[in-house]
């Protein structure tokens, strides 16, 4: 059935009652490919909340790189995970702001009408890891709207009650939907995994990207000096505005990026470029970085291991350029460096990080707000690295700026594109 996406902000039911169907952007296995092909709007049944679950009316949804991977079906198909086999569709979207619409049995902290943002970590309450180690260690751990369906690119989303956080009152719906996944990930990487401290020096790859804009702000807030790597001077200006000590335009060091399959001579030349890059970084920071903030992977990882200071830490949560990493391990062991894996955040980290947003100490960085009809296009922009900061999608909100109920700094607007 054709779905009229211009009507997604209209609802004929009050909080507490769900309609039978909703408009949703859906990825199906047979459509895997470029985001503009893989995502299509369909009419889907609205899910009922189970025990300790909540159905939220999505007012705005945030766009993340994970659903570029979901669209491509790479490096793995999401259909192997979570509740996908049960429902046979993937409704992506791992960031949302919205209104609690219906709560399941056992939910006591939230009621219909509450305004919320959603963090994207799910785990079973029955796994012992959740109750003593970390929900990210639980065998049931999954990222909502990526490893599960019922994500936020739909009029309603189904989440676990523990995923809900109060919506910062001073933010509009689109601002509130824009930061969770990348900001909470950057928070765990720096504060909990790499133990960021005042006075640290930090190298941030992709500093104007989704993770980078928050890593940069967290360094400034903590009293650490950051240098951001970017691919244009406009992005560099944004990174400095966010509190970085300086930036490096990676186009001036294009030869340092690892492609794979280099000959020994090419590898030697690449290494020389990496050395030149580390000198530029040290020139800005006044010394080598204590922490390298990694998510680019294959292209940059050898340089990250080289650049970080002895006993320093490379903390990594992703691999945009490729996940099979190779690097000269002598620089790791001789200099006793550490590599730390990190993945999203737990509810406690998300809560603490959200408080910094509520206090206006960390601000969302919003590049563009788009209508519900633009979900596929927005993912294509990420795929083509043509974005700057975050993209939000209006779903239940009819226009930008709705949902602000208090005073405070809104999002920083990133005004230039790549």
**Cβ-based nearer residue to ligand NAP, 155 or 346:** 346
User: Which residues here bind ligand NAP, judged by CB under 6 A?
Assistant: 64-66, 181-182, 185, 205-206, 208-212, 229-231, 235, 250, 257, 295-296, 299-300, 317-318, 320-321, 343-344, 382, 385
In the complex with ligand NAP, the residue whose CB is nearer, 312 or 318, is: 318
Q: In whole angstroms, what is the distance from residue 154 CA to residue 145 CA?
A: 11
Q: How far is the CB of 107 from ligand NAP (least distance, A)?
A: 26
**Residue 173, both tokens:** 């719906």
Residue nearest to ligand NAP (CB): 209
CB of 330 to ligand NAP, least distance (A): 23
Q: Whole-number minimum distance, CB 84 to ligand NAP, in Å?
A: 18
Is residue 284 a contact partner of residue 248, using CB atoms and an 8 Å limit?
yes
Neighbouring CB atoms inside 10 A of 347's CB total: 18
Residue 16 makes CB contacts below 8 A (sequence gap 6+) with 101, 102, 112
Q: State in angstroms the smallest separation of the CB of 65 from ligand NAP.
A: 4
In terms of CB distance, is 121 or 160 closer to ligand NAP? Answer: 121
Report the Cα–Cα distance between both ends of the chain, in Å, rounded.
37
Nearest approach, Cβ of residue 320 and ligand NAP (Å): 4
- Per-residue DSSP letter, 95: -
Contacts of 185 (CB under 8 A, 6+ apart): 211, 317, 342, 343, 344, 345
Query: Is 156 or 277 the residue whose CB approaches ligand NAP more closely?
Result: 277
Alpha carbon distance 212, 224 (integer Å) = 15
Question: Please, which residue, 47 or 318, has the CB nearer to ligand NAP?
Answer: 318
Beta bridge partners of 412: 365
Q: Which is nearer to ligand NAP, 59 or 230 (CB)?
A: 230
Rounded Cα–Cα distance for residues 289 and 307 (Å):
7
Given a contact cutoff of 8 angstroms between Cβ atoms, the answer to whether 25 and 39 are in contact is yes
User: What crossing angle do the helices spanning 233-241 and 212-222 adopt, rounded to 10°?
Assistant: 40
The tokens of 92 are what?
Answer: 């992506």
Residue with tokens 């299509």: 40
- What's the DSSP call for residue 79? G
Residue pair 250/278 in contact by the 8 Å Cβ criterion: no
Residue 346: its H or E element:
none
Nearer to ligand NAP, 209 or 403 (CB): 209
Nearest-approach distance from CB 230 to ligand NAP, in angstroms:
4
- Tell me how far, at minimum, the Cβ of 122 lies from ligand NAP, in Å: 13
User: Looking at beta carbons only, is 18 or 186 nearer to ligand NAP?
Assistant: 186
Instruction: Give the residues across from 118 on adjacent strands.
Output: 96, 164
Least Cβ distance, residue 130 to ligand NAP (angstroms)? 18
Cβ at position 62, least distance to ligand NAP in Å: 10
Q: Return contacts of 319-323, CB within 8 angstroms, 24+ apart.
A: 319/295, 320/65, 320/206, 320/295, 320/296, 321/257, 321/296, 321/297, 322/260, 322/297, 322/298, 323/75, 323/297, 323/298
Helix axes 180-187, 212-222, angle to 10 degrees: 40
Report in angstroms how near the CB of residue 169 gets to ligand NAP at its nearest: 26
């Amino acid at each position: 059935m054709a779905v009229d996406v211009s009507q997604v902000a209209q609802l004929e039911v009050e909080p507490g009652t769900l309609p039978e169907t909703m408009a949703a952007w859906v990825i199906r296995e047979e459509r895997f490919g470029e985001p503009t092909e893989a995502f299509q709007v369909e009419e889907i049944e609205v899910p009922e909340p189970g025990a300790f679950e909540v159905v939220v009316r999505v007012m705005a949804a945030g766009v993340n790189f994970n659903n570029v991977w979901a669209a491509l079906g790479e490096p793995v198909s999401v259909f192997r995970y979570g509740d996908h086999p049960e429902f046979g569709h993937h409704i992506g979207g791992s960031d949302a702001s919205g209104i609690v619409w219906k709560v399941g049995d056992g939910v006591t902290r939230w009621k219909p009408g509450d305004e919320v943002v959603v963090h994207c970590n799910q785990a079973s309450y029955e796994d012992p890891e959740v109750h003593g180690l970390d929900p990210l260690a639980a065998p049931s751990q999954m990222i909502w709207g990526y490893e599960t369906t019922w994500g936020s690119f739909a009029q309603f989303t189904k989440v676990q009650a523990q995923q809900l956080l109060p919506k910062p009152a001073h933010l509009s719906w689109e601002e509130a939907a824009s930061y969770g996944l990348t900001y909470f990930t950057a928070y765990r990487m720096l504060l909990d995994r790499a133990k960021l401290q005042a006075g640290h020096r930090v190298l941030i790859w992709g500093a104007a990207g989704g993770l980078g804009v928050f890593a940069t702000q967290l360094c400034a807030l903590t009293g650490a000096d950051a240098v951001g790597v970017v691919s244009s001077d406009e992005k560099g200006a944004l990174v400095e505005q966010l509190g970085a000590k300086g930036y490096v335009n990676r186009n001036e060091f294009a030869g340092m990026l690892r492609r794979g399959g280099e000959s020994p001579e090419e590898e030697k030349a690449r290494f020389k470029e990496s050395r030149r890059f580390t000198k530029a970084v040290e020139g800005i920071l006044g010394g080598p970085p204590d922490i390298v903030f990694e998510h680019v992977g294959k292209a940059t990882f050898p340089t990250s291991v080289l650049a970080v200071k002895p006993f320093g830490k490379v903390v990594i949560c992703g691999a945009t350029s490729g996940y099979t990493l190779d690097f000269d391990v002598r620089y790791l062991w001789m200099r006793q460096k550490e590599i730390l894996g990190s993945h999203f955040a737990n509810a406690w980290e998300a809560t603490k990080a959200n408080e910094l947003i509520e206090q206006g100490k960390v601000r969302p960085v919003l590049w563009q707000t788009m209508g519900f009809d633009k979900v596929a296009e927005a993912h294509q922009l990420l795929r083509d690295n043509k974005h700057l900061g975050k993209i939000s999608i209006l779903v239940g909100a009819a226009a930008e700026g709705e949902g602000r109920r208090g005073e405070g700094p809104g999002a920083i607007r990133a005004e230039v594109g790549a």
